[in-house]
Amino acid sequence: MKLLRYGAAGAEKVGALDAQGNIRDLSLLIPGDLTPDWLSPERLQALTAINLEKLPLVDKNVRLGVPVAGTRQFMAIGLNYRAHAAESGLDIPKEPVIFSKALTSLSGPNDDILLPDDSTATDWEIELGFVIGTKAQKVSEKDALKYIAGYCLANDVSERDWQIKRNGQWSKGKSFDTFGPIGPWLVTTDELTDPQKLEMELKVNGEVRQHSNTADMIFPVATIVSYLSQFMTLLPGDVVITGTPAGVGLGMKPQQFLKKGDVVTLRIDQLGTQTQKVV
Protein backbone atom coordinates (compact mmCIF):
# COMPACT_ATOMS: atom_id res chain seq x y z
CA MET A 1 0.00 0.00 0.00
CA LYS A 2 1.15 3.54 -0.73
CA LEU A 3 0.12 5.84 2.11
CA LEU A 4 0.44 9.61 1.89
CA ARG A 5 -0.60 12.91 3.41
CA TYR A 6 -1.98 15.72 1.28
CA GLY A 7 -3.02 19.33 1.64
CA ALA A 8 -1.59 22.58 2.94
CA ALA A 9 1.38 22.39 5.30
CA GLY A 10 0.13 21.85 8.82
CA ALA A 11 -3.36 20.83 7.68
CA GLU A 12 -2.67 17.58 5.81
CA LYS A 13 -5.20 14.78 5.46
CA VAL A 14 -4.48 11.07 5.04
CA GLY A 15 -4.69 9.42 1.64
CA ALA A 16 -3.51 6.44 -0.37
CA LEU A 17 -2.55 5.79 -3.97
CA ASP A 18 -4.79 3.35 -5.83
CA ALA A 19 -3.73 0.87 -8.52
CA GLN A 20 -4.33 3.46 -11.26
CA GLY A 21 -2.12 6.07 -9.58
CA ASN A 22 -5.02 8.15 -8.27
CA ILE A 23 -5.04 9.66 -4.80
CA ARG A 24 -7.88 8.45 -2.59
CA ASP A 25 -9.02 10.14 0.61
CA LEU A 26 -8.76 8.01 3.78
CA SER A 27 -10.23 10.61 6.13
CA LEU A 28 -13.34 8.53 6.90
CA LEU A 29 -11.13 5.67 8.07
CA ILE A 30 -8.32 7.75 9.59
CA PRO A 31 -10.09 10.94 10.76
CA GLY A 32 -7.04 12.48 12.42
CA ASP A 33 -3.58 12.05 10.97
CA LEU A 34 -1.22 9.22 10.00
CA THR A 35 0.32 9.12 13.47
CA PRO A 36 2.72 6.42 14.73
CA ASP A 37 -0.05 4.26 16.19
CA TRP A 38 -1.38 3.70 12.65
CA LEU A 39 1.92 2.12 11.61
CA SER A 40 1.61 -1.09 13.63
CA PRO A 41 1.55 -4.30 11.58
CA GLU A 42 -2.03 -5.00 12.64
CA ARG A 43 -3.38 -1.63 11.55
CA LEU A 44 -1.43 -1.64 8.30
CA GLN A 45 -2.74 -5.09 7.50
CA ALA A 46 -6.30 -3.86 8.08
CA LEU A 47 -5.74 -0.89 5.78
CA THR A 48 -4.51 -3.11 2.95
CA ALA A 49 -7.89 -4.85 2.92
CA ILE A 50 -9.66 -1.63 1.95
CA ASN A 51 -11.11 -1.28 -1.54
CA LEU A 52 -9.57 2.07 -2.45
CA GLU A 53 -11.75 2.38 -5.56
CA LYS A 54 -14.75 3.12 -3.33
CA LEU A 55 -13.08 6.05 -1.57
CA PRO A 56 -13.28 9.71 -2.72
CA LEU A 57 -10.86 10.89 -5.38
CA VAL A 58 -8.45 13.71 -4.56
CA ASP A 59 -7.20 16.31 -7.05
CA LYS A 60 -3.95 14.91 -8.47
CA ASN A 61 -2.38 18.40 -8.33
CA VAL A 62 -2.74 18.67 -4.56
CA ARG A 63 0.35 19.35 -2.44
CA LEU A 64 1.85 16.26 -0.80
CA GLY A 65 3.30 16.44 2.69
CA VAL A 66 5.66 14.19 4.63
CA PRO A 67 3.95 10.76 4.42
CA VAL A 68 3.81 10.23 8.20
CA ALA A 69 3.02 12.51 11.13
CA GLY A 70 4.29 12.47 14.69
CA THR A 71 7.88 11.51 13.91
CA ARG A 72 10.00 11.73 17.06
CA GLN A 73 13.46 10.93 15.68
CA PHE A 74 15.02 11.61 12.27
CA MET A 75 18.22 9.60 11.90
CA ALA A 76 20.64 9.28 9.00
CA ILE A 77 23.53 7.13 7.85
CA GLY A 78 26.66 8.61 6.26
CA LEU A 79 29.17 7.14 3.81
CA ASN A 80 27.07 4.05 3.12
CA TYR A 81 27.99 3.57 -0.56
CA ARG A 82 31.54 2.62 -1.46
CA ALA A 83 31.85 5.01 -4.39
CA HIS A 84 30.57 7.91 -2.29
CA ALA A 85 33.16 7.23 0.42
CA ALA A 86 35.82 7.17 -2.29
CA GLU A 87 34.72 10.47 -3.83
CA SER A 88 34.75 11.98 -0.33
CA GLY A 89 38.35 10.80 0.14
CA LEU A 90 37.39 8.72 3.17
CA ASP A 91 37.96 5.10 4.15
CA ILE A 92 35.15 2.56 3.99
CA PRO A 93 33.62 2.71 7.49
CA LYS A 94 33.87 -0.41 9.64
CA GLU A 95 30.59 0.46 11.37
CA PRO A 96 27.71 2.68 10.23
CA VAL A 97 28.30 6.43 10.47
CA ILE A 98 25.34 7.92 12.35
CA PHE A 99 24.01 11.47 12.57
CA SER A 100 20.66 13.11 13.15
CA LYS A 101 18.63 15.69 11.27
CA ALA A 102 16.31 18.12 13.01
CA LEU A 103 12.62 17.22 12.84
CA THR A 104 12.03 20.76 11.59
CA SER A 105 13.98 19.92 8.42
CA LEU A 106 11.24 17.52 7.29
CA SER A 107 9.29 18.76 4.28
CA GLY A 108 7.02 17.53 1.53
CA PRO A 109 8.52 15.79 -1.51
CA ASN A 110 7.89 18.67 -3.88
CA ASP A 111 8.27 21.61 -1.51
CA ASP A 112 10.90 24.24 -2.33
CA ILE A 113 14.41 23.94 -0.94
CA LEU A 114 15.21 27.17 0.90
CA LEU A 115 18.88 28.15 0.61
CA PRO A 116 20.38 29.20 3.96
CA ASP A 117 21.58 32.79 4.22
CA ASP A 118 24.70 33.39 2.10
CA SER A 119 25.06 29.67 1.31
CA THR A 120 27.28 28.75 -1.62
CA ALA A 121 27.67 25.05 -0.72
CA THR A 122 24.19 23.51 -0.52
CA ASP A 123 24.28 19.97 -1.91
CA TRP A 124 21.93 17.15 -2.94
CA GLU A 125 21.82 13.52 -1.72
CA ILE A 126 19.27 10.99 -2.95
CA GLU A 127 18.56 8.33 -0.32
CA LEU A 128 16.35 5.39 0.52
CA GLY A 129 14.41 6.05 3.70
CA PHE A 130 12.37 3.83 5.97
CA VAL A 131 9.86 4.42 8.74
CA ILE A 132 9.71 2.34 11.90
CA GLY A 133 6.38 0.64 12.64
CA THR A 134 7.18 -1.29 15.83
CA LYS A 135 9.30 -0.23 18.79
CA ALA A 136 12.79 -1.69 18.28
CA GLN A 137 15.32 -2.39 21.04
CA LYS A 138 18.37 -4.61 20.51
CA VAL A 139 16.86 -6.48 17.57
CA SER A 140 18.77 -8.99 15.45
CA GLU A 141 19.56 -8.48 11.79
CA LYS A 142 17.49 -11.57 11.05
CA ASP A 143 14.36 -9.96 12.50
CA ALA A 144 15.16 -6.32 11.76
CA LEU A 145 12.95 -5.80 8.70
CA LYS A 146 9.89 -6.84 10.72
CA TYR A 147 10.14 -3.56 12.63
CA ILE A 148 9.75 -1.41 9.49
CA ALA A 149 6.36 -0.04 8.45
CA GLY A 150 7.47 1.02 4.98
CA TYR A 151 9.95 2.74 2.69
CA CYS A 152 10.18 6.18 1.12
CA LEU A 153 12.31 8.37 -1.13
CA ALA A 154 14.37 11.08 0.57
CA ASN A 155 16.71 13.94 -0.28
CA ASP A 156 19.30 14.55 2.43
CA VAL A 157 19.94 18.18 1.49
CA SER A 158 23.24 19.30 3.02
CA GLU A 159 24.99 22.63 3.53
CA ARG A 160 28.63 21.57 3.27
CA ASP A 161 30.27 24.59 4.90
CA TRP A 162 28.12 24.16 8.03
CA GLN A 163 28.64 20.39 7.88
CA ILE A 164 32.42 20.37 7.45
CA LYS A 165 33.89 23.76 8.38
CA ARG A 166 31.92 24.70 11.48
CA ASN A 167 33.73 22.62 14.09
CA GLY A 168 32.33 19.17 13.45
CA GLN A 169 28.82 17.82 14.02
CA TRP A 170 27.34 16.95 10.62
CA SER A 171 23.87 17.74 11.95
CA LYS A 172 24.65 21.45 11.63
CA GLY A 173 24.72 21.22 7.85
CA LYS A 174 21.82 18.78 7.62
CA SER A 175 19.12 20.42 9.73
CA PHE A 176 18.06 23.63 8.01
CA ASP A 177 14.35 24.00 7.31
CA THR A 178 13.35 22.18 4.06
CA PHE A 179 16.51 20.00 4.14
CA GLY A 180 14.55 16.76 4.61
CA PRO A 181 12.10 16.19 1.73
CA ILE A 182 10.38 12.82 2.27
CA GLY A 183 7.85 11.05 0.06
CA PRO A 184 5.75 11.23 -2.05
CA TRP A 185 4.36 8.23 -0.18
CA LEU A 186 5.21 5.47 2.24
CA VAL A 187 5.29 2.06 0.53
CA THR A 188 4.39 -0.59 3.09
CA THR A 189 6.54 -3.68 3.44
CA ASP A 190 3.89 -6.03 2.07
CA GLU A 191 4.35 -4.25 -1.25
CA LEU A 192 8.12 -3.77 -1.10
CA THR A 193 9.77 -6.81 0.45
CA ASP A 194 13.38 -6.31 -0.67
CA PRO A 195 14.88 -2.84 -0.15
CA GLN A 196 18.29 -3.88 -1.52
CA LYS A 197 17.57 -3.90 -5.26
CA LEU A 198 16.13 -0.47 -6.02
CA GLU A 199 17.42 1.72 -8.86
CA MET A 200 17.84 5.37 -7.87
CA GLU A 201 18.55 8.54 -9.84
CA LEU A 202 18.90 12.25 -9.12
CA LYS A 203 19.06 15.06 -11.68
CA VAL A 204 19.84 18.74 -11.35
CA ASN A 205 18.29 20.86 -14.10
CA GLY A 206 17.75 17.69 -16.13
CA GLU A 207 21.35 16.44 -15.90
CA VAL A 208 21.99 13.14 -14.12
CA ARG A 209 24.17 13.63 -11.04
CA GLN A 210 23.55 10.37 -9.18
CA HIS A 211 22.59 6.95 -10.51
CA SER A 212 22.98 3.80 -8.48
CA ASN A 213 21.21 0.88 -6.83
CA THR A 214 20.60 0.14 -3.17
CA ALA A 215 22.39 -3.17 -3.75
CA ASP A 216 25.61 -1.13 -3.45
CA MET A 217 25.05 -0.19 0.18
CA ILE A 218 27.89 -1.04 2.54
CA PHE A 219 25.42 -1.63 5.38
CA PRO A 220 22.01 -2.88 4.21
CA VAL A 221 18.74 -1.81 5.80
CA ALA A 222 18.53 -4.82 8.13
CA THR A 223 22.01 -4.06 9.49
CA ILE A 224 21.11 -0.41 10.03
CA VAL A 225 17.94 -1.21 12.00
CA SER A 226 19.74 -3.75 14.17
CA TYR A 227 22.78 -1.51 14.72
CA LEU A 228 20.76 1.56 15.72
CA SER A 229 18.60 -0.48 18.06
CA GLN A 230 21.65 -1.60 20.06
CA PHE A 231 22.20 1.89 21.51
CA MET A 232 18.90 3.71 21.02
CA THR A 233 15.23 2.79 21.04
CA LEU A 234 13.61 3.21 17.65
CA LEU A 235 9.99 4.31 17.96
CA PRO A 236 7.04 3.94 15.59
CA GLY A 237 7.05 6.86 13.15
CA ASP A 238 10.81 7.40 13.34
CA VAL A 239 12.39 8.17 9.98
CA VAL A 240 15.81 6.77 9.02
CA ILE A 241 17.59 7.61 5.77
CA THR A 242 20.29 5.22 4.65
CA GLY A 243 23.05 7.09 2.84
CA THR A 244 23.69 8.41 -0.63
CA PRO A 245 25.61 7.05 -3.64
CA ALA A 246 28.37 8.84 -5.53
CA GLY A 247 27.64 11.98 -7.51
CA VAL A 248 27.15 14.69 -4.92
CA GLY A 249 28.27 18.22 -5.72
CA LEU A 250 30.99 18.08 -3.07
CA GLY A 251 32.71 15.27 -4.94
CA MET A 252 32.66 16.87 -8.39
CA LYS A 253 35.73 18.46 -9.96
CA PRO A 254 35.22 21.35 -9.86
CA GLN A 255 32.67 21.20 -7.07
CA GLN A 256 29.14 22.24 -7.96
CA PHE A 257 26.39 23.26 -5.58
CA LEU A 258 22.76 24.33 -5.73
CA LYS A 259 21.81 27.89 -6.56
CA LYS A 260 18.57 29.82 -6.71
CA GLY A 261 16.36 28.63 -9.56
CA ASP A 262 17.83 25.11 -9.81
CA VAL A 263 15.40 22.20 -10.06
CA VAL A 264 16.24 18.87 -8.42
CA THR A 265 14.38 15.72 -9.47
CA LEU A 266 14.71 12.37 -7.74
CA ARG A 267 13.43 8.86 -8.47
CA ILE A 268 13.68 5.48 -6.76
CA ASP A 269 12.00 2.39 -8.20
CA GLN A 270 8.62 1.70 -6.58
CA LEU A 271 8.97 4.75 -4.32
CA GLY A 272 7.95 7.50 -6.74
CA THR A 273 9.51 10.83 -7.63
CA GLN A 274 10.28 14.21 -6.12
CA THR A 275 10.78 17.63 -7.72
CA GLN A 276 12.17 20.56 -5.72
CA LYS A 277 12.93 24.11 -6.80
CA VAL A 278 15.74 25.95 -5.02
CA VAL A 279 14.65 29.36 -3.73
Convert the pLDDT of each residue in 149-195 to its tens digit: 999 999 999 999 999 999 888 999 999 999 999 999 999 999 999 99
Residue 166 maps to a domain = yes
Residue 53 maps to a domain = no
Q: What does the alpha-carbon distance between residue 243 and residue 196 come to, in Å, rounded to a whole number?
A: 13
Residue 59 maps to a domain = no
Calculate what percentage of the chain has a pLDDT beyond 90: 94
Q: Is residue 88 very low, low, confident or very high in pLDDT (cuts 50, 70, 90)?
A: confident
Q: Tell me, what amino acid is at 161? A: D
Residue 29 maps to a domain = no
Number of domains the chain contains: 1
Q: Are 124 and 200 in contact (CB under 8 A)?
A: no
Residue 268: per-residue pLDDT: 98
* Average pLDDT of every residue of the chain: 96
Q: Is the peptide bond before 184 cis (omega within 30 degrees of 0)?
A: yes
Domain that holds residue 151: 70-277
> Which residues lie across from 57 on neighbouring strands?
24
Q: Is the pLDDT of residue 1 over 90?
A: yes
Look up the pTM and report it: 0.96
> Which residues lie across from 273 on neighbouring strands?
267
Residue 100 maps to a domain = yes
Residue 116 maps to a domain = yes
> Which residues lie across from 234 on neighbouring strands?
136
117-154 tens-digit pLDDT: 999 999 999 999 999 999 999 999 999 999 999 999 99
Residue 87 belongs to domain with CATH number: 3.90.850.10
Residue 90: per-residue pLDDT: 78
Mean pLDDT of 34-40: 97
Give the number of C-alpha atoms closer than 13 A to the C-alpha of residue 247, restricted to the C-beta side. 20
Residue 65 maps to a domain = no
Q: Is residue 46 very low, low, confident or very high in pLDDT (cuts 50, 70, 90)?
A: very high
Residue 241 maps to a domain = yes
